[in-house]
Amino acid sequence: MDAQMYKARAFILALLLSLTALSGCSPSDEGASKAGQDNAQESEELKEPYYHGLVKEYTSLLAQDPNNLAAIIALGNAYFDSGEWNDAVTYYTRALQVDPKNADVRTDMGTSFRNMGMHKRALAEYRHALKHDPSHQNARYNMGVVYAYDIKDYHAAIRVWNSLLKFSPNHPRADQMRSCIITFKKVTRKGKQ
């Protein structure tokens, strides 16, 4: 899989995984819990033969060439797509040993950690991704999701999404982020009163 195709796939996956997370901008756990349930159901459906075939194919490639970075990443992606987060992290870690500046892999690893309930580790991976690629939209977007829905740090979510909207005002999720920012500003003002 070439780099451009990988980036497009990663962008689409990040959007799909977080679609339900921003569906309402409610500061309650309801939206995030629903997103997790929907993603878990989708993940079970994805564990069908297609992904097992990919795992078998890429494992075979790695048996021939253990340093095949594309196969390592693709194997991590196959596990990611099937919701097997621990295995995805294993292969993403391996890929990052070869290419530590790969912001796409760091972002996917961060999302894997988020799905495992390891929110601080997810944020750390998103920060690493942004260190190497400050304009990485998926890392910034997902960082805002973790702050808003998992950690409940609405100020941080607002800051992160505003920074994303600053350099990407036409982001596919721009309207939803703006709506969430307005909602979270109201919630944080009420909390101060």
Q: What is the pLDDT of residues 78-135, one digit of tens each?
A: 999 889 999 999 999 999 999 999 999 999 999 999 999 999 999 999 999 999 999 9
Phi, psi angle pair for 40, to nearest 5°: -65, -40
Q: For residues 29 and 50, what is the distance between their CA atoms, to the nearest angstrom? A: 33
Above 50 in pLDDT, residue 6? no
Q: At what angle do helices 174-192 and 154-167 cross, to 10 degrees?
A: 150
More reliable by pLDDT, 22 or 56: 56
SS (H, E, C) 6-65: HHHHHHHHHHHHHCHHHCCCCCCCHHHHHHHHHHHHHHHHHCCHHHHHHHHHHHHHHHHC
Q: What is the pLDDT of residues 136-184, one digit of tens each?
A: 999 999 999 999 999 999 999 999 999 999 999 999 999 999 999 999 9
Structural tokens at position 9: 């796939």
Q: What is the pLDDT of residues 57-76, one digit of tens each?
A: 888 888 899 989 999 999 99
Residues 102, 95 contacting (CB under 8 angstroms): yes
At the top level of CATH, which class does the domain 3-192 belong to?
mainly alpha
Above 80 in pLDDT, residue 52? no
**How many Cα atoms are found within 13 Å in the side-chain-facing hemisphere of 53?**
4
Residues 88, 108 contacting (CB under 8 angstroms): yes
Residue ranges per structural domain of the chain: 3-192
